[in-house]
Amino acid sequence: MLATLFVLSALTAAGAGALTLLAPSAALATPSNEELRAASRSPEAGVLRPSGLRVIDLVEGDGPLPALGDRVYVHIKVWGSSFDAGEPAYATWAADGRPSMWFLGEPSAVVVGPPYIPTTTVPAGIDEGVLGMREGGWRRLVVPASAAYGAEGLPRPGGRGLFKVPPNSPIFVDLRLVDGGGGGCDRLLRLQGLPKSISCIPGKI
């Protein structure tokens, strides 16, 4: 079954995350795609978790649902001020297109990603944000500073005090779960450790 796109309604006054299904679509490359992005930029979009993480589901995947300890392959974009605001501070697409890999619930594990990845860890808020996603899903997060880059921020390489994400700042994250247990990335990427596929689908880029 193809994933269904939907536009998110604002939270109710009581704080519950209400979702209104609008204009189902079979592909990401549609006018609805921009509507989804615009809806995600509302300060009250999605659901606010007790940790302070705001979770905004744009596409509900129809693949496996990874559990804690499962290997996940995720494409990530990070902005430091708001969604879609200029060049991302970090993006897995920016180098050779390899998704990051880690074991869900273990963000301190070494990840597979572009060679300039700033650390060998996944920010805790991004790890938490993958929980509940199905393979093929597209989700956005607003991650509080304490679960993002914290007091250190994300410095620019050789920036001498310049930052891609300033210290003690939230981050705005775009996630695509390309392998949550289906095995596509495991087969294509993990053995050689030099992934060349963005989609993890044989025959596709």
Mean of all residue pLDDT scores within the chain: 75
Tens of pLDDT, residue by residue over 84-130, are 988 899 888 775 677 888 889 987 765 555 443 434 578 999 999 99
Output the six-digit token pair for 139.
């989700």
Q: What is the dihedral of CA 36, 38, 39, 40, to 10 degrees?
A: 90
Of 20, 22, 24, nearest to 9 by C-alpha is: 20
pTM: predicted TM-score of the whole model, two decimal places: 0.74
Range of the domain at 96: 48-190
Total domains in the fold of the chain = 1
Task: Judge contact between 179 and 202, C-beta under 8 A.
Answer: no
Does residue 167 fall inside a structural domain?
yes
Q: What is the mean pLDDT of residues 169-183?
A: 93
Domain membership flag for residue 40? no
pLDDT digits 0-9 by tens, 141-168: 999 999 999 999 988 887 677 889 999 9
* CB 53 within 8 Å of CB 129: yes
Q: How confident is the model at residue 38 (pLDDT cuts 50, 70, 90)?
A: confident
Task: Note whether residue 143 is domain-resident.
Answer: yes
The two three-digit tokens of residue 123, written as one number: 């920010």
Residue 1 in any domain: the answer is: no
Q: Is residue 29 part of a domain?
A: no
| CA atoms of 140 and 77, how far apart (whole Å) | 9
CATH value at residue 141:
3.10.50.40
